[in-house]
Amino acid sequence: MSESSSENLLSSVGHSTQETEFYTPYPPGYEKGRTRYVVVLGTVMSGLGKGIFSASLAKILKDKGLRVAPIKMEGYLNIDSGTLNPFRHGEVFVLDDGMETDMDLGTYERMLDENLRGRNFTTGGQIFTRILEREREGHYLGRDVQMIPHVTGQVKHTLRELALTTQADVVFVEVGGTVGDYENGYFIEAIRELAYEEGEHSVGIVALTYIMEPRALGEQKSKAAQLGMRQVMQAGLQPHIIACRCPTPVTDKVRQKISMFSNVPLRRVFSMHDVESVYLVPEMLREAGLDREVLSLLNLHERVNQRAEDQARRTWQSFVDRLLEPKEKSVTIAVTGKYAALRDAYASIDKALEHCGVHAQCHIHIQWLDSTEITARNAAEMLKGCHGIIVPGGFGARGAEGKIACVRYARENRVPYLGICLGFQMAVIEYARNVCNLENANTTEFEPNCPHPVIDILPEQKKIEGLGGNMRLGGKDIMLKPDSGVSRLYGGAPSVRLRFRHRYEVEPRYLEILERHGLIFSGHAPNQPIMQMLELPAEVHPYFFATQAHPCLTSRPLAPDPMFLGLVQAALRRAYPQRVFENLIGGKPPTVSPTDRPASLNMS
């Protein structure tokens, strides 16, 4: 059998009894060698910033005119991240197509300014589910299904399918965890096989490692990093680039040691030390020449568009300059949720506020408040000094009364307010109780038999509960009420597309009484009585908005979300009443030009 025929033997070869060790199913139409792969692995410990490094490297290649496609591969057996506790894994990031992923996908979307899809994220659970389904359908032709070649074959098929559907020049593969973990071993083996099958100049291996800097010793130590590199090589992978994470710049002496024990040229051993913002990382990579090294490794120099890179680099640098400028104004925004002890649980809110801080040229201090500790009695004390309040999303009754107390404080004291998802529902409940006098109004999520269920699962969602799909997930269109405050925030657009992750809605039979008492539902689902945005009139409150959606998920460094930006502008007007600021409500909408867009993220 020739090499080409053996390599292209698919699992669907019919009833042939001929067997081959070159079991590697290629998607129909896949052209081997066209797409290159950059694989980012971790050593020593997790949480080193593989996603930040991978996204930054992908960005500078995209700036050169190349088409890039990232994928995050997680070893856990969950099908997606939707059921994971934020305390264990950070926030659940929802893609436009409804896939629930981990927070690294948010990093990729913000850095690349792209909407990703479910194909950009996979888990061990997804891989094994596909294999077991195929086995039950007889696709393996009677062979015993094994980790090698079938599991590794499915991993390779997933990567090649992404390459084919996106027509990417470079697929960036981030493998979760660290090399040596049991749960990602089959991913690592699949990468080794992929590099062998795709051929020379097709796969580049990047290893992130950690350089320890014990305070008692006063010097950097590289032994753990050396052992981490040994594990990578024992897995059959030769690193091409090594990124060394460290609080301070890695010394030449340490880089030389890493280079010697990993067979990686010194010019490809990169110091990825802490910087003020992750927006500085792309330029760090460029200055270290890693973009040129990757182009040489993958033989991609001829695909570069130099003019596109020059423009993109100037534009990004202008944002970074604005980010680093000293800010003379400062506002405090309270984020009141039950996961406030873990900043990563609200990572997208944190980033959205940072985007707005650069655009509004002010420093935003986020005051993280645990809603389980807030009551009607202490809300004023807890929120004292805040210029704006955000009540974020969440599930479950714990901390809900604290959130309602925050809503009431914001409404009665005219503090700028933004409710997100559950924060939208809490605003409806607070208004029903304290303005409409609907005693003990609540949501059936918390009180199934409450006298006034102003929030409930709607009948059309109950019908599909048996299918396990009664969650509204992903991007949905919102029809905006003409001349409303939210319509003006979005530049007068008749509709806006935002992302959702919730089950419960405003009960339609309570709409009349809520609106009669002054609450404005300014956004709803197309052709359905599903309320998705609310506000109070400008003459009643300077800034009181809430949405069932999660606008923080689509806020980008170069294009801050208007609802968040409006909150920050309102907070500035409260903090500096003597100053004149742009009036986003009733005035001109926020505009973002190619040379006047903010950028902000925190590296440390």
- Whole-structure pTM value: 0.90
Measured in degrees and rounded to the nearest 5, phi and psi for residue 446 equal -100, -40
- The answer to whether 90 touches 136, Cβ cutoff 8 Å, is no
Asked if pLDDT for residue 6 goes beyond 60, the answer is no
What pairing do the DSSP bridges indicate for beta strands 495-502 and 472-480?
antiparallel
Asked if pLDDT for residue 11 goes beyond 60, the answer is no
Q: Write down the pLDDT at residue 165.
A: 96
Asked if pLDDT for residue 88 goes beyond 90, the answer is no
Q: Write down the pLDDT at residue 592.
A: 36
Considering only residues 18 and 4, tell me which one the structure prediction assigns the higher pLDDT.
18
Secondary structure (3-state) at 202: coil
| CA–CA dist 131, 128 (Å, integer) | 5
Asked if pLDDT for residue 74 goes beyond 80, the answer is yes
Give the contacts of 262 (CB within 8 A, at least 6 positions apart). 207, 226, 229, 232, 233, 239, 242, 269
pLDDT in tens, 502-529: 989 999 999 999 999 999 999 999 988 8
In the block, residue with structure tokens 């792309």: 282
pLDDT in tens, 36-48: 999 999 999 988 8
Mean pLDDT lowest for which of 18-27, 221-230, 273-282, 414-423?
Answer: 18-27
Q: Write down the pLDDT at residue 466.
A: 44
Asked if pLDDT for residue 594 goes beyond 60, the answer is no
pLDDT in tens, 548-580: 999 999 999 999 999 999 999 999 999 998 876
| CA–CA dist 244, 84 (Å, integer) | 30
Q: Write down the pLDDT at residue 19.
A: 65
Residue 566: CB atoms within 10 Å = 28
Give the contacts of 245 (CB within 8 A, at least 6 positions apart). 48, 49, 208, 209, 210, 211, 272, 273
Q: Rounded mean pLDDT of 273-299?
A: 93
Q: Write down the pLDDT at residue 583.
A: 60
Q: Rounded mean pLDDT of 137-144?
A: 86
Length of the chain: 604
Q: Rounded mean pLDDT of 418-428?
A: 97
Q: Write down the pLDDT at residue 142.
A: 81
Asked if pLDDT for residue 591 goes beyond 50, the answer is no
In the block, residue with structure tokens 């980033």: 351
According to DSSP, residue 590 is labeled P
Read off the pLDDT band of 339 (50, 70, 90). Answer: confident
Mean pLDDT lowest for which of 241-250, 339-348, 416-425, 431-440?
Answer: 339-348
Q: Write down the pLDDT at residue 24.
A: 80
Q: Which two tokens stand for residue 424?
A: 């939208």
Asked if pLDDT for residue 465 goes beyond 60, the answer is no
Q: Which two tokens stand for residue 428?
A: 């409806």
Radius of gyration of the chain (CA): 26
| CA–CA dist 441, 444 (Å, integer) | 10
Q: Average per-residue pLDDT in the chain?
A: 89
- Domains in the chain and their CATH numbers? 51-319 (3.40.50.300), 327-575 (3.40.50.880)
Secondary structure (3-state) at 524: strand
Asked if pLDDT for residue 585 goes beyond 60, the answer is no
Considering only residues 133 and 581, tell me which one the structure prediction assigns the higher pLDDT.
133
Asked if pLDDT for residue 137 goes beyond 50, the answer is yes
| CA–CA dist 380, 402 (Å, integer) | 12
Indicate the residue type of 441. Answer: A
Q: List, in sequence order, every beta strand (DSSP E) within 113-164.
A: 121-123
Read off the pLDDT band of 396 (50, 70, 90). Answer: confident
For the stretch 478-508, what's the b/e string if a residue is b when 16 or more beta carbons lie within 10 angstroms of its beta carbon? bbbbeebbbbbbbeeeeebebbbbbbbbbbe
Asked if pLDDT for residue 1 goes beyond 80, the answer is no
Q: Write down the pLDDT at residue 13.
A: 37
pLDDT in tens, 92-101: 999 999 999 9
Share of the chain above pLDDT 70, in %: 91
Read off the pLDDT band of 18 (50, 70, 90). Answer: low
| CA–CA dist 584, 485 (Å, integer) | 9
DSSP string, 252-300: HHHHHHHHHHHT--GGGEEEEE--S-GGGHHHHHHHTTHHHHHHHHTT-
Q: Write down the pLDDT at residue 602.
A: 33
